[in-house]
Every structure is written in C-alpha cells, then in structure tokens.
Amino acid sequence: METAASVEAMRAFNRFYTRHVGLLGERHLDSALTLTEVRVLYELAHGEVASPTDLARELSLDAGYVSRLLASLEGHGAVTRTKSPDDARRRVMTLTAKGRKAVSSLESKTQERLSTLIDAVPATARARLVQSMREIENVLAPSTSGAPVFKLRDPVPGDIGWIIHRQAALYTEEYGWDWTYEGLIATICGNFVKDFDPENERCWIAELDCSVVGSVFLVRKSARVAQLRLLYVEPSARGHGIGSKLVGACIAFARARGYRSMTLWTNDVLASARKIYQAAGFVLTKEEKHHSFGKDLVGQNWDLKL
C-alpha cells in the first residue's frame, strides 16, 4: 500500500476509534480531568515512573508540558511532590488519597464503558477484534522485552475462514493475484474440513504473542504420499523461522504416520516458500507454465522422500 494511502487509512481509523470509545470530550469520562491528566495519574498508580522526567520519557511528552500537567494535578489535590528516599535532591510524584480515589473511579468507569462496547460485539468476532488490536500494537511497536512467545496449535472455530481471508488478501497485495485464488483456497479448506481424517491429516495454526501469524495443512494424497498445502506466514511475523517450523511439523507428522514421501505444488514467484522447501530437503520434480489467478505463472511440484 502506498504511504499516502496508509496515512489516510490510519487517520480514518484514528477518527473512528477516538469517537467510538468516547475520547473526544474536553473532560475524560465526565471527570474534572483531561485524558492526558488521567493518563499521568494511571502511570503514577501502575507504572514505575515517579519523577517528571520519567513521565515525560514514558509518555513521549515535552518536559515543560508534563510540569504544567503535574502542577494542574497538584491543584486538584490528586498528586504531591516529595523527596526521593534514594536521593534527597530528586523530587518524585506520588498520588494522594484523593488521587487514588480518582484513579479507582475512572478505572471502574472505563471498565464499564469498554465492557458495554465489547458486549455489543458478536461472540464469534471478539477474538478477531482482540487479535487485530494486538497485531496493530505488534506491527507499530514490536516487543523488545524478550523473545516472542510462539506456539503451534490445532484450529478452532473461525481459523479456517481467517486462513481463506488472509491468504487471499495477502497474495493479492504481494503478487497481484485476483479473486479466483480465494476460490481455490476456499475449495481446499472446505474439502479438508468435509473429509478430515484425524489419523492421517493435520492443520497447524501458528501463533506469535497470541496473534495468528501463519498456518499449513497436511492431507492424505494416498496411502504412502502426504501432501503439504497452503503454507503461509504473515509479513509482520517473517524472520522468526515460522515457515520452517510449520513445514517441520508436517514432515514429523508424516513420518510418524508412516508416509513414504511428501509432495507439494507451488509457483515459482513464491521465492521465500521455495527456500523453506529446499532447506527441508524437498526436490523440484516438475515445472509447468499456466495462467491462473489473473497472472502468467510457472507451477512447480516438489517432492520429499521420508
């Protein structure tokens, strides 16, 4: 997506979100405080910040502006300045009893308002809503606190539809494929669900920091041959070896079930996927030109002896 279009999409979302959750009022949640003042109180109540400098850094605000906010909060009787127990030269901010009461009241009101919003969302869409918010956070501010939490799991209701949607959208964005590819994915997924053989077939969903970031299917092609299908990894999650882990899970399962070989079909433009297949030991056995999904492509068959 072009930068200008991305900027406009983000601005439109900001306008929608701030209006939808009620952030546009001059005073937050009918209190005597602005939203920024409430955020400062929240940091003092829950964070490790204590000095004006800490607050300015944590909230990415101008130091002078933070000083004026703290002066206003002192005027409301919500905070007080004291000497640091570790350094008498350093002033730290603490909540007064009035400030703690204000935070408690505001958090209750926030909980009530957001609960009302969430309750209005169909239960089947709530997981998608939470996942989308986490995805926004992960893309804009990747975690630096440590290694991302990764796991492979079985699909749950909603995952198959999500796979169809994400792969269709992703391949249109990255390769310009048209909507006929979505029809192919829907057919493959539908047949998998309809004819699912739990003893000999699997689908894995990849999660990174609780967000769905990829998937793969292994289906029974014959008594001796397993077929790997629909490998995909979200662009935001690439570089963590997730594609290799998904393919590795397929190979391990196929061997455990006694398959003699694995096969897959892909297209030569999917360079990243081909590198994963090659690294796992797959060998290119056939190539054929075709016109599909609105593009001239070169289809490839890759095989692996187990």
Q: What is the pLDDT of residues 180-191, one digit of tens each?
A: 999 999 999 999
Query: Does residue 206 sit within a domain?
Result: yes
- Residue 88 dihedral angles phi and psi, to the nearest 5°: -65, -20
Is residue 108 located within the same domain as residue 170?
Answer: no
Mark whether 158 and 301 lie in a shared domain: yes
Orientation angle between helical segments 159-175 and 180-194, nearest 10 degrees: 150
- Residues 180, 116 share a domain: no
Q: What is the CATH number of the domain that holds 49?
A: 1.10.10.10
Q: Is residue 135 part of a domain?
A: no
Is the domain of 291 the same as that of 172? yes
Q: Which domain holds residue 106?
A: 3-120
Q: Per-residue pLDDT averaged across 55-72, rounded?
A: 85
Question: In this structure, are 108 and 172 located in the same domain?
Answer: no
- β 225-233/211-220 pair status: antiparallel
Kindly state the DSSP code that residue 178 receives in the 8-state scheme: -
Rounded to whole angstroms, how far apart are CA atoms 38 and 92?
18
Segment 119-131, tens digit of pLDDT? 888 876 777 777 7
Per-residue pLDDT at 294: 95
Q: Is residue 112 part of a domain?
A: yes
Helix, strand, coil share (%) of the chain residues, nearest 5: 50, 20, 25
**Residue whose pair of structure tokens reads 């169909």 in the numeric block:** 122
Are residues 169 and 299 both part of a single domain? Answer: yes
Based on the domain organization, do 82 and 13 belong to the same domain?
yes
The answer to whether position 133 is within a domain reads no
Rounded to an integer, what distance in angstroms lies between the CA atom of residue 225 and that of residue 306?
10
Which structure tokens are listed for 30? 């009918």
Tokens representing 136 are 């926004």
User: Is the residue at 137 inside a domain?
Assistant: no
The answer to whether residues 293 and 160 belong to one domain is: yes
Exposed, middle or buried: residue 294 (CB in 10 Å: 0-12, 13-18, 19+)?
middle
* Torsion angle of C-alpha atoms 12, 13, 16, 21, degrees rounded to 10: -160
Length of the chain: 306
Do 158 and 243 share a domain, yes or no?
A: yes
Q: Say which CATH number the domain at 178 has.
A: 3.40.630.30
**pLDDT bucket at 76, cuts 50 / 70 / 90:** confident
pTM over 0.85: no
Total number of domains in the chain: 2
Helices 35-46 and 52-59 cross at an angle (nearest 10°) of 110
